[in-house]
Amino acid sequence: MPSPPLSRSAVTRATAVLVLLRVAYAYNWFDIGPGFPALSGTFHLDPADWGILLAAFLAGAGLLQVPSGVLARRYGTRPISLAGAALLGAASLACAAAPSFLALAVLRAAAGAGAGLFFSPAIALVGSLHAAGERGVPVGLFSSAFSAGAGLGVFGSALLIPLLGWRGSLGFGGVVLLAILAVGVLAIPRSAGAPTPRDASPRLLARGGVLRSRAVWAIGLAFVGLEGASISAGQYFVPFAEQVRGWAPALAGAVGAVFVFPSFFGGPVGGRLLERGRRRRTQMVLATALPAALLFLIPSLGLAGIVAVAAAFSVGYGMVYAMMYVLAYYLPEVPTADVPLAIGLFNGIQLAGGACVSLITGAVIARWGYAPAWEALATMVLVPLVLLAAVPRTGPAPPAPVGGPAGT
């Protein structure tokens, strides 16, 4: 029997806490980049090793994307998303005590696994709290909250590392996430994100369901470059600015944060545009291609130009990610109950590809320097966009599920 609809105040509280969890979750993705120079001193690393640390997190997150969607069908989105946040927080805290580079890489992979468990169930949980046709803004806000956390991770850790060291900076992120999680356990009603009836799951897995969706795979593959660039650009920019341009850590961290923070404003806009629009593929291509092309200019720009490019890139990918997550509700081959699995699949594909992009970027920096790395990064964003041709045109919003938003 469907759960009764939640009150508006309960929906608001639950959405707000999930957004805060998303902020802290993103902080723990991005707080390692500004520590790369300090880590190099501790463990004798080079930029290729930095790429391994970024890739380890992305690989851990990618491997858990599809399992998280399957688990969310069986147990509900609330318990799986909260368990993922707990693993991410605990592993991030453990990173502060890593005795070696290998241990740190393994713990970053474990933190990534927690991120993978959290993300697609959490975004589906946010969507389930709101009626069809009203999901664009809250889902876009949840998506964009990543940018706020990422910006804080880049800028905040750049300020914390001189005071606390890289270990203290990583530990701080884990503590903050676990503290917000404790509030979330109380604030998110147990009835929210109820599991799909068990008899639907065997049929889904028997025929492949969304796991064989051409559109879902196309979305995943088309944005592997964007995933890698959105994670790598701001984090690699900090050592680039310090080592190549000679900027102070505070300035380097502040500009690095511009590569991520403004996407907070792009998310709600992107989600709303996709919900209202019809030329959805064109919207996504333009929001990705135009700002990504600007990355080619970074080696030749001054401070003001880099800030403008970083902001444009950030707003663009903020719009695109929100569009992707809302689009999952409109794909004809994806039932509403399977949205977490669809998001998990294409996000897993993107994270696996993004890990490769991070590794390639670090290797290019180590061998040829930063200027070719920016060019390679832009190219890896632009080329896969041709795969969006495989995504079908989508129609209007699907009807609200039986039992109201909170009963899904």
pLDDT digits (tens, 9 = 90+) for 246-282: 999 889 888 988 998 888 788 778 877 887 767 788 8
Residue 396 has pLDDT above 60, yes or no: no
Asked if pLDDT for residue 135 goes beyond 70, the answer is: no
pLDDT per residue as tens digits for the range 66-83: 888 788 888 888 899 999
Percent of the chain clearing pLDDT 70 (strictly above): 90
Given a cut of 80, whether residue 133 has pLDDT beyond it is: no
Kindly state the tokens that stand for 175: 């503590």
Q: What does the alpha-carbon distance between residue 353 and residue 220 come to, in Å, rounded to a whole number?
A: 9
pLDDT category of residue 202 using cuts at 50, 70 and 90: very low
17: nearest Cα among 92, 81, 70: 81
Determine the Cα–Cα distance for residues 349 and 227; give it in Å rounded to an integer.
10
Question: 41-62, pLDDT tens digit by residue?
Answer: 889 888 888 888 888 998 898 8
3-state secondary structure 173-213: HHHHHHHHHHHHHHHCCCCCCCCCCCCHHHHHHHHCHHHHC
Contacts of 115 (CB under 8 A, 6+ apart): 25, 28, 29, 57, 60, 61, 64, 84, 88
| Tokens, residue 125 | 């949980």
For domain 8-195+209-391, which architecture applies?
Up-down Bundle (1.20)
Global pTM reads: 0.72
The residue to which tokens 């590809």 are assigned: 353
Q: What is the pLDDT of residue 82?
A: 94
When pLDDT is averaged across residues 188-204 and rounded to a whole number, the result is: 63
Percent of the chain residues past pLDDT 90, beyond the cut? 33
Give the best-scoring range by mean pLDDT among 97-101, 329-333, 351-355: 97-101
Structure confidence at residue 208 (pLDDT) = 53
Tell me how far apart the alpha carbons of residues 158 and 34 are, in angstroms, rounded to a whole number. 5
Query: Domain spans of the chain?
Result: 8-195+209-391
**Residue 377 pLDDT:** 93
More confident residue, 11 or 311: 311
Place of tokens 């169930």: 121
Query: What is the structure's pLDDT at 249?
Result: 84
Confidence category of residue 149, pLDDT binned at 50, 70, 90: confident
- What would the mean pLDDT of 29-40 be, rounded to a whole number? 86
Question: Do 176 and 93 meet the contact criterion of CB atoms below 8 Å apart?
Answer: no
